[in-house]
Amino acid sequence: MNRIVALWRDTRHLWVLLILVVGIGAVALMARARMVPESYGETGPYRARARDEIAAKPSVLIADATCLECHADVGEERAESLHKAVRCFHCHGVGHEHVALARKAAENPDLSVPPAAEWDGNFRTDIDLYVTEDRATCLACHQAVVGMPEDFKKINVAEHLENMGASETESRETCFECHAGHDTAP
Amino acid sequence: MVELEVIGGANGQCGGSSDPCESAGCQCDSAESDSRRQFLQQASTFALGAVSLTLFPVSVAEGEPAGGAGGGLGTDAQPPMYGFLVDTEKCIGSGKCLTACRVENDVPEGYQRTWVERYVHFKDGTVQVDLVPETGYAGSDQPPIDPEQVERAYFVPKLCNHCEDAPCNQVCPVHASFTSPEGFELIDTERCIGCAYCVQACPYGTRFINPDTGTADKCTWCYHRVMRDEDPACVEACPVGARLFGRVDDPDSEISQRIAAIPTSVLKAHLGTHPKTRYLGISDEVT
Amino acid sequence: MSEIPFVFPNDVHPPWSIMIVLYPYITGLVAGAFVVSALYHVFHREALKPVARLALVTSLCFCAFATLPLLLHLHRPERCFNVLVTPSVTSAIAGFGFIYSAYMLVLVVEVWLVFRPAIVEQANSLTGAKALFYRVLALGVTDITDRSRAIDSRLIRVLAIMGIPIACVLHGYVGFLFGAVKANPWWSTALMPVIFLISAIVSGIAALILLYQFISWRRGETADRECVGALARYLWMFLVLAASLEGLELLQMAYEAGGEWPILRALLTEHLAVSYGLVQVLIGSLVPLLLLLTSFTRRLPARLVMFSSGLASLLILVQVFAMRWNVVVGGQLFSKSFRGFVEFPLHWMSREGLLAAAVILTLPLAALWVAGKILPIWQPAEAGTLADAR
C-alpha cells in the first residue's frame, strides 16, 4: 500500500500532465468534428455543396438562340451566310442587360427596350449591346496576322480596296459599302 | 438529395427543344443515363459513409474510391466523361474566347483562365512566342510581324487540362480542389485557404490566386454552363470552331469521332498528369 | 536555335513570397537546435553540456513561431484550421499540421520536465503572484523526490530519442514539399528533403554557437572552448555533407542536361549568380569550411578558435538563408513555359514584406530572452541528469 502511495507521489506531476494533454486533445477532436462543413464527404472527399454552388452560377454569355427568339428575321438572313459561325455577340456585344430588359418588357408592355448604342471602338465586347458598321469589326477576325491558317480569308485593306477599285479608302464603313452585315456574301 | 436535383434538372432541360444543343454538347444519350446510374450508386455509398463522418471525417475521406486526388498514390481510374479538343490548325487568333471567358467567369484583370499563344518560327531559326492580345491583334498596337521572315506560325489556345491525375488536386491540403463526379477539376472557394500550393503544382500555369477572393482560381470548363447543356463560353465564342467540347464516353459525339480519326496529343505528357484537354496540330516546342 | 522570352500570363505573379523562404529557415533552426540538445541528452556528448538546455529552449522558441510566416502567407488565414479539419492525406501541407503538433507536444513536455526542478524551486521560494505563476507552471505539483527526478530523467531521454525522428520528419517533409512538385524542374529532385534536413542541422548548430557566444559575452563569462570546439567540429562535418549534396545535385542536373536544363542554367548564371554562386557557395560554404578547420587543432589560441567559429557560424546562417531563398524564389523566377523569367516582387511594408520578415526572425529571439527571465536556461544542465539517465 505504501508503495502505491509512494509511486503516486513520485508520478503525480506526470498524471496531471497526461490529463491536461488528453483533455486538450479531446477538446480539439470535438471542435474538429463540429467544424467539418455540412455535406462534406457526401460525393467524395470534398464539400458536395460546392459543386452545386459552382453549377448554380448564371450563364453570362448569351447564346445566339436567345437573340433569335426576338430577332428571327436575322436568323433567316444568316441561315445561308458564310458567317453563320459568327456569334451575335462577336459584333454586337454580350447584350446581357439588353436581354434582361427585353424579358421584362415581354411581360410588361409599358416598358420599352432602349435602342442599342453605337460601337465605341472597343475591341473587347464585354460592354452591353451596340450596333456597328465599323470596318474594325470585320478586321478583328480578318486582318491578316502571322499565324492564321492558310485557308482563312485574310484581308489587307489597302490591297483589297485597290483590287476592288474602291476610292474611299479612309472610310470606317468601307466593308459595309459592299458587304452586308448579316448575309455577308463575298 | 441535392445531387439528384442537379442531374434531374439537366435531364429535364435536355428534353426541351429550344436548347441550342450543338452536336457535341448534348447529354440526351444512353451514355448519360449510364453514367447517371453509376453516379447514383456512388452517391448512396457516400451517403452511408457520411453517417460515420461526424466524429472522424478524415478516415472516410481517405478511403474514398472516387476521390481522384491520388496522383501517384493510385486512383480509381474512371473513364473520362468529358473532353476538350483544341484544333490549332483552325485558330485565327481573334481573341474572342479571351473576352468571353473574362465576362463569363468574372476573371480579374491581369489574370487569365484561358489564353492563346502564338508560335512563330522565323526563317533564321528563331522561335518567337507571344500572347494574343485580348482585343485580337487588330485591336492592339502590337507591331505586325513581317510575313516574309516567317517559315511557319500557328496559335495555341491554353486552358485548364482537367488532368485525370491532377497534381493541383493532389497537393491541396484541405480538399478545396476536388474532382466532380463528371471529372471536372473544381475549386471550393469556401474552403480554400489560399496557400497557392496548387498554383505551384500545376505544370501548365493555369492556376492563380484570385486577388478579389484570396482563393485559387482557374478554368472550370464552364462547369455551370455544361451542367445546363451549354458549351463552355470559349467554345461558344470561337468563330472558327478551334475549340471543341463534348462527351468522350459517347463514341458518336463529334469530339469522340475527331479524336478517333486524327492523331492528337497532350501537353507535357511526360509528367503523367493525363490531361483531358487534347491538342491537334502542335509540335514539341509547345510547353 | 535562339529563343525569345515568353512567360505564361499567370506566372508573372509568383505565388510564394519571402514568408515561404522564412518558413523552412525557421523550421530548420528548430530541427537543428533540437539535434544539438539530443547529442547531449541521447548521445551523451559531455562537451555540449553548457548548451544542452539552451538548445532545447531555442528549439522551442523558434518552433512557437514557425507557423507565423505561413499564416501571414495564407490569403485566407482565418481558414487555417481547415488544414486540421478536412486534411488531405496526399498533401504535404496538410501533413504539416499534424507533424508540427506532435513535435510541439514533445518539445513542450521535454522542456517542462527538464526545468521542473527549477520551476518547483521558484514556486516554493517565492511569494505572492510570482509564486502563483510558478505553481501554475508546475501544474500544481510542487514537490520533487529523488525518485520522481529519476523517472523524469528517463522520460526526458525517451522524449529526446522520439524527438529526433520527429524533427527529421518535420524538416524532411519541408524538403518534400518542394521536392515533390514535378511541375518545377528546379525543385523536383529526390535529394531535396535530404538537403533540407542536413542544412537544417547546419543552421541549428551555427545558431547555437552564435547564441552561446553572445550570451556568454553579455553575462561577462567566457564561452567554454571545449563546447564551442565540439560544436564547430560537428558543424564542419554537417557542412561538408550539405555542400557535397548540394553540389552533387547541381552536377547531376548539369550532366544529365535534360530538356529543362537550358532554363535552369540561365537561372543559375543570370538570376542566382550572386545569391547562389557568391553567397551560398563561396562566402557561405567554402569560407566557413576553412574557418572551422581551426577547431580541429589544440595549438591555436582559444580566442582565434572562438572568433573563427563565430564568424563561420554567422556566414553559415546567411548561407542557409540564401539556400532557402535560392530554392523558393529561384523556383519561381522562371515561367513554366520554360521560355522566360519573371520579376520577384519585394516590398518593405506589406503583410508579406521584408519588415514583417525581420519581425518574424526577431520574435523567437525575444521569446528566448523572455524564457531566460523565467527559466534558468543559461545554467548548464544539472549534474545529476546524466548520471541518473545512465
Mean pLDDT computed over C338-343 = 95
Confirm whether A46 is domain-assigned: yes
pLDDT by position in tens, chain A (length 186) = 788 888 888 999 999 999 999 999 999 999 999 999 999 999 899 999 999 999 999 999 988 888 999 899 988 888 888 888 888 988 898 888 888 888 888 888 888 888 888 888 888 877 788 888 888 888 889 989 999 999 999 988 888 888 887 766 667 777 888 888 887 665
pLDDT band at C176 (very low <50, low <70, confident <90, very high): very high
Residue B229, pLDDT above cutoff 50: yes
Residue C3, pLDDT above cutoff 80: no
Which of A55, A78, A93 marks a domain boundary?
A55
Q: What is the CATH number of the domain that holds C225?
A: 1.20.1630
Q: Which pLDDT score is estimated for B71?
A: 42
Q: How far apart are CA C254 and CA C269, in angstroms?
A: 12
- Kindly list the distances between the CA atom of residue B206 and the CA atoms of A173, B61, C281, in Å, as whole numbers in the listed order: 39, 27, 35
User: How many folded domains does chain C comprise?
Assistant: 1
Provide the mean pLDDT of chain B: 80
Strands B177-179 and B208-209 come out as unpaired
Residue B7, pLDDT above cutoff 60: no
Q: What is the pLDDT of residues B266-286, one digit of tens each?
A: 999 999 999 999 999 998 889
Could you tell me which residues are beta bridge partners of residue B154?
B119
Provide the mean pLDDT of chain C: 92
Q: Which pLDDT score is estimated for C95?
A: 87
Q: Which pLDDT score is estimated for B16?
A: 36
Same domain for A130 and A68?
Answer: yes
Same domain for A96 and A37?
Answer: no
Interface of C with B in 320-359 (CB under 8 A): 331-332, 335-339
- The rounded percent of chain B whose pLDDT value lies above 70 is 73
DSSP string computed for chain A:
-HHHHHHHHHHHHHHHHHHHHHHHHHHHHHHHHHHSPTTBTSSSSSBHHHHHHHHTSPP-SPPHHHHHHH-HHHHHHHTT-TTTTS-HHHHH---HHHHHHHHHHHH-TT--PPPPEEP-S-SSTTSS-EE---HHHHHHHHB--TT--TTS--B-HHHHHHHHT---TT-TTHHHHHS-SSS---
User: CB within 8 A of A90, min separation 6: which ones?
Assistant: A125, A140, A141, B96, B237, B239
Of the partner residues B46, B189, B239, the one whose CB lies closest to the CB of residue A86: B239
Q: Which pLDDT score is estimated for B256?
A: 96
Q: What cell does C263 get? A: 532554363
Q: What is the pLDDT of residues B78-93, one digit of tens each?
A: 788 999 999 999 999 9
Q: Which pLDDT score is estimated for A93?
A: 87
Confirm whether C363 is domain-assigned: yes
Spell out the domain ranges in chain B. Answer: 2-85+160-280
Interface of B with C in 6-45 (CB under 8 A): none
Same domain for A115 and A38?
Answer: no
User: CB within 8 A of A51, min separation 6: which ones?
Assistant: A43, B3, B6, B178, B180, B186, B223
* Amino acid found at B176: A
Range of the domain at C168: 12-235+348-389
Nearest CA distance, C229 vs chain B (angstrom): 42
Domain spanning B2-85+160-280, CATH architecture:
2-Layer Sandwich (3.30)
Q: What is the pLDDT of residues C213-257, one digit of tens each?
A: 999 999 888 899 999 999 999 999 999 999 999 999 999 999 999
- Contact between chains at A42 and B240 (C-beta distance less than 8 A): no
Of the partner residues B57, B176, B236, the one whose CB lies closest to the CB of residue A36: B57
Same domain for A69 and A156?
Answer: yes
Q: What is the pLDDT of residues B99-155, one digit of tens each?
A: 999 999 999 999 999 999 999 999 999 999 999 999 888 888 888 899 999 999 999
Q: What is the pLDDT of residues B46-61, one digit of tens each?
A: 443 343 333 344 433 4
Q: Judge whether A5 is closer than 8 Å to chain C, CB to CB.
A: no
- Contact between chains at C151 and A11 (C-beta distance less than 8 A): yes
Confirm whether C330 is domain-assigned: no
Kindly list the residues from chain A whose CB atom is less than 8 angstroms away from the CB atom of residue B66: 43-44
Of the partner residues A37, A49, A143, the one whose CB lies closest to the CB of residue B2: A49
User: Chains with 3 or more CB pairs closer than 8 angstroms to B?
Assistant: A, C
- Contact between chains at A140 and B104 (C-beta distance less than 8 A): no
Kindly list the residues from chain A whose CB atom is less than 8 angstroms away from the CB atom of residue B41: none
Kindly list the residues from chain C whose CB atom is less than 8 angstroms away from the CB atom of residue A36: 85-86
Same domain for A142 and A86?
Answer: yes
Q: SS in 3 state form for chain B? A: CHHHHHHHHHHHHHHCCCCCCCCCCCCCCHHHHHHHHHHHHHHHHHHHHHHCCCCCHHHHHHCCCCCCCCHHHCCCCCCCCEEEEEECCCCCCCCHHHHHHHHHHCCCCCCCCCEEEEEEEECCCCEEEEECCCCCHHHCCCCCCCHHHEEEEEEEEECCCCCCCCHHHHHCCCCCEEECCCCCEEECCCCCCCCCHHHHHCCCCCCEECCCCCCEECCCCCHHHHCCCCCCHHHHHCCCCCEEEEECCCCCCHHHHHHHHCCCECCCHHHCCCCCEEEECCCCCCC
Confirm whether A16 is domain-assigned: yes
Residue B32, pLDDT above cutoff 60: no
Q: Which pLDDT score is estimated for A185?
A: 61
- DSSP secondary structure letter of residue C334: B
- Contact between chains at A11 and C148 (C-beta distance less than 8 A): yes
- Contact between chains at B191 and A50 (C-beta distance less than 8 A): yes
Mean pLDDT computed over C204-209 = 97
Q: How far apart are CA C54 and CA C59, in angstroms?
A: 8
Q: Which pLDDT score is estimated for A118?
A: 87
Of the partner residues A10, A37, A47, the one whose CB lies closest to the CB of residue C147: A10
Q: Does pTM top 0.95 for this prediction?
A: no
Mean pLDDT computed over C322-349 = 95
> What ipTM did this prediction achieve?
0.92
Best residue in C4, C82, C86, C134 to probe A by mutation, most A CBs within 10 Å?
C86
Q: Judge whether A5 is closer than 8 Å to chain B, CB to CB.
A: no
Range of the domain at A165: 64-178
- Contact between chains at B153 and A49 (C-beta distance less than 8 A): no
Mean pLDDT computed over B167-191 = 96
Which of C225, C234, C232, C189 has the alpha carbon at shortest distance from C298? C225
Residue C361, pLDDT above cutoff 50: yes
- Contact between chains at C75 and B117 (C-beta distance less than 8 A): no
Q: Which pLDDT score is estimated for A163?
A: 84
Q: What cell does C152 get? A: 523524469
- Contact between chains at B223 and A39 (C-beta distance less than 8 A): no
Mean pLDDT computed over B18-42 = 42
Nearest CA distance, B209 vs chain C (angstrom): 7
Residue B45, pLDDT above cutoff 50: no
Residue C191, pLDDT above cutoff 70: yes
Q: Are C26 and C207 in contact (CB under 8 A)?
A: no
Q: How far apart are CA B224 and CA C302, in angstroms?
A: 73
Same domain for A156 and A99?
Answer: yes
User: Chains with 3 or more CB pairs closer than 8 angstroms to C?
Assistant: A, B
User: How many folded domains does chain A comprise?
Assistant: 2
Find the chain C residues whose C-beta atoms sit closer than 8 A to any C-beta of A.
81, 84-86, 88, 105, 109, 112, 116, 138-141, 143, 145, 147-148, 151, 155
- Contact between chains at A40 and C143 (C-beta distance less than 8 A): no
Q: Which pLDDT score is estimated for A111?
A: 84
Residue C20, pLDDT above cutoff 80: yes
pLDDT band at C312 (very low <50, low <70, confident <90, very high): very high
Q: What is the pLDDT of residues C253-269, one digit of tens each?
A: 999 999 999 999 999 99
Q: Judge whether B126 is closer than 8 Å to chain C, CB to CB.
A: yes
Interface of A with B in 36-55 (CB under 8 A): 36-37, 39-55
Of the partner residues B73, B193, B204, the one whose CB lies closest to the CB of residue C76: B193
- The rounded percent of chain C whose pLDDT value lies above 70 is 96
